[in-house]
Chains A and B, each alone.
Chain A
Amino acid sequence: MTAKNILVVCGTSVATSTVVKEALKEKLPARGLDIGTIAKAKATEAPGKVSSGNFDLIVTTTQLNQDKFDIPVIHTTAFMTGIGQDEVLDDIAAALED
């Protein structure tokens, strides 16, 4: 399996996306996943960054129009609220294993 790259999207690419990025960096390797880069983007930048073809999955803290992307999009606030993190990590792992 090649390393998977994740794009974390929020409104600013500063605040909530940083929280998610740090959480993914800490928790995904423990699930045996090979993670390459985890990059951050603003919602307005996401289509441009994804069109580079470098990313395997989007994890977003804000609503995105999923039709605009040809990779899976997971929408979650679990990493900020602390509620339901495990379920979301399961979803992310499942999406990356395909």
Chain B
Amino acid sequence: MAVPEVLLQSGVSSLLNSINSVIQSLGVSVLLPIIIFLIALAFRVDVLKAARSSILIGIGFIGINLVIGLFSENISPLAQQMVEVTGITLPAVDVGWPAAAAIAFGIAELGVWMIPLFVVMNLVLFAIGFTYTLNVDIWNYWHFAFIGGLVYMSTNNWLYSVAVGLTLGLFVLVAADWTQPAVEETFDTPGISIPHGTSAPYAVAAIPIHWAVDKTPLGNIEADPDAIQDRFGILGEPIFVGLAIGLVIGIAAYSNALFVAESWYAILTAGISFAAVMHILPMMVGILMEGLTPLSESIRNYMTSRFEDRDMAIGLDSAILIGHESVIASSLLIVPIAIVMSIILPGNDVLWGIDLATFPFFFALMVPIMNGNIVKMVVTGTILLIPLHYISSAVAPLLTQAAGSAGFDLGGRGLITSPVADAGSPATGILALIPAPVALAVALVIVLGIWVALRMWPQRMYMVAGASEEKARETVERRHTGKGGGLLPNKIGSSVDATGAEGRSDD
């Protein structure tokens, strides 16, 4: 009996091996278009449109690889030299969210498969009344692929990675429902919620920190965001931030030879290269996004057309919140703080780069919680920067390995990370750094805890997320009274009249 079993096993494993070697030799820029093409056809995208989309996605990957190549040729050696000259050891270079997103979708073992998996989960959760959000922002499913991919790198276990990716998906849906009234009120976006993998974890972590900050004298200071934005003006653009960072790294790398003309050629080149990466990388990712757009439209129609008569929130990208002046002002102010912290925090590995332009996503959902007070936002943000540095340092090896799996050529030059989105997020800390079974249990307790609290004390919860009492009560009346569309209850415990008592006990 043993013999044929062995034969069978070796047959299966040689088949798997040859599939693997085909995948390896094709590379992501070919494989991903094929997968996207199939997913697009499954969601009834027109064949020619699906073909065009898929090709654009391949092109986007090749473009991103070119820019990452530019980065690792020009910046990584300088960072290395900086270490030798100044003794500042920051081996994990920040390649930013655009690269992180591309890596996430490109990870051979999981990547874009997260798209259909999440769509199915969201539809089921909406149908049973677990969530009010239909997350049609498929681009931002990359966050789920990202965390799942990191877990795959550490466990080699496909089931764990999918479970972890979907758990983050579950969390952002609950967080989107929780923050929706506050978001609608602050940003004037009726019917929209924000299930965003970067913004939601930071905002939820910010709630207790802000509560403590508010008790200190810092809670009483006001600053005018418009004045700050005007003062920084055009200097707040990513190309100027990139130029400045490139020059600083260049000067540090050549600080022992600043009176040599050749050093300055290299320093100025570093500045312009960094600015170039900062400007070009989002464009390349934009090509990827253009490719995903028809699929995203089909999925949106597929999802929303099923529940036309139900009260729903359409889940969109927190990019729509980022024009708010307190977001822009806080994101400018925190850049120098982050750089100083990266140097003084003992044991930090992060060398800041592209993600210095990603702070708007970090702050977006904090605006309603802190009433747009930029002093509170920056102080709370600074406290969150401490775990951010350590978490993104700790996951750098996993992300570097994931980049390899996604076919990005880093030229073997050290580690990469993307501190703001999402390598340093509290969600990454829990889901990727704690061993998978424990991490899943912890995350599910948090998510279900928030979910139950939203059903037990909805008005109070909405106010904690930053909604006014009036807005919170209005949402409770619309959403948590009477029978909902799904199987699960809209309200646990006493009915509406409890909201009055809650309002009183709130202070």
Residues of A at the B interface (CB closer than 8 Å) are 9-19, 22, 40, 42-45, 47-48, 60-65, 77, 80-83
Contact = CB atoms under 8 A, between A and B. Distances in A.
B319 A44 contact: no
Contacts of B325: 65
Interface residues of B, number: 42
Interface string B319-355: 1111111001000000000000000000000000000
Contact of B320 (A16, A22, A47): A16
B293 A62 contact: no
Interface stretch (B281-289, B396-404, B491-499): B281-289
Main secondary structure of the interface of B (DSSP, over half): helix
Given A48-B237, A82-B304, A83-B191, A62 B286 contact: no
Query: Quick one: which of B238, B285, B289 has the most chain A CB within 10 A?
Result: B289
Nearest to A19: B293
B324 A14 contact: no
Kindly list the 9 A-B residue pairs having the minimum CB-CB distance in the complex, ordered from nearest.
A11-B322, A11-B319, A62-B323, A43-B323, A18-B289, A81-B314, A63-B323, A61-B320, A10-B319
Contacts of A65: 226, 325
A18 B300 CA distance: 16
Contact of A44 (B238, B301, B317, B318): B238
A44 B320 contact: no
Given A11-B317, A12-B282, A43 B192 contact: no
Contacts of B328: 43-44
A12 to B, nearest CB: 5
28 contacts: A10-B319, A11-B319, A11-B321, A11-B361, A12-B282, A12-B319, A12-B322, A13-B286, A15-B137, A16-B316, A16-B319, A18-B286, A22-B290, A40-B286, A45-B237, A61-B320, A62-B319, A62-B320, A62-B324, A63-B187, A63-B188, A63-B321, A64-B323, A77-B189, A77-B320, A80-B136, A81-B192, A81-B316
